[in-house]
């Protein structure tokens, strides 16, 4: 009878530890956020006015275009060598 009592205590202790581990571990699912309440009253939409002074982009000067084209040709010739 002593042997049966020891097995029962060991089994009960194991089940208790397992139950506490699972129970205290908590839920690992992604938390669900509550949905926002629906808007019941109509809301007026406002028009956004256009700004009066928009920045203007100037065209590149002619000499700068030539300089950039020369740099592009140099880069292309270096890539052909490699």
Task: Summarize pLDDT for 13-55 with one digit per residue, the tens.
Answer: 999 988 888 777 766 777 778 888 887 888 888 888 888 887 7
Task: State the virtual CA torsion across 20, 24, 29, 31 in degrees, nearest 10.
Answer: 160
| Cα separations in angstroms, 10 against 7, 21, 23, 30 | 5, 16, 20, 36
pLDDT for 56 equals 77
Q: Between residues 60 and 42, which one has the greater pLDDT? A: 42
Answering whether pTM is above 0.75, one says: no
Task: State the virtual CA torsion across 6, 8, 12, 15 in degrees, nearest 10.
Answer: 110
| 72 sits in which H/E element | helix 62-81
């Amino acid at each position: 009878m002593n042997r049966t009592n020891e097995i029962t205590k060991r089994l009960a202790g194991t089940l208790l530890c397992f139950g506490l581990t699972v129970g205290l571990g908590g839920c690992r699912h992604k938390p669900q956020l509550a949905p926002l309440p629906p808007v019941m009253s109509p809301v007026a939409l406002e028009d956004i006015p256009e700004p009066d002074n928009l920045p203007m982009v100037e065209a590149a000067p002619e000499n700068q275009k030539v300089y950039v084209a020369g740099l592009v040709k140099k880069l292309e010739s270096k890539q052909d060598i490699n």
